[in-house]
Amino acid sequence: MNGVESGVNGTPAFFINGTRFNGPPDYENLIQALENNGE
């Protein structure tokens, strides 16, 4: 699946384990998302 098909309409766009990260891409939010969605 490419970015456009995934709903990406700008940069930066982050995906964690195939799931699009929605939210402010600051350090705390990214770390929390990685911890919650990590394998």
Q: Write out pLDDT tens, residues 2-21.
A: 777 877 887 888 888 888 88
Verdict on whether the full-model pTM lies above 0.95: no
Structural tokens at position 8? 């990406």
Region 21-37: mean pLDDT is: 90
Side-chain-side CA neighbours of 5 within 13 Å: the count stands at 3
Confidence of residue 1 (pLDDT cuts 50, 70, 90): low
Confidence of residue 39 (pLDDT cuts 50, 70, 90): low
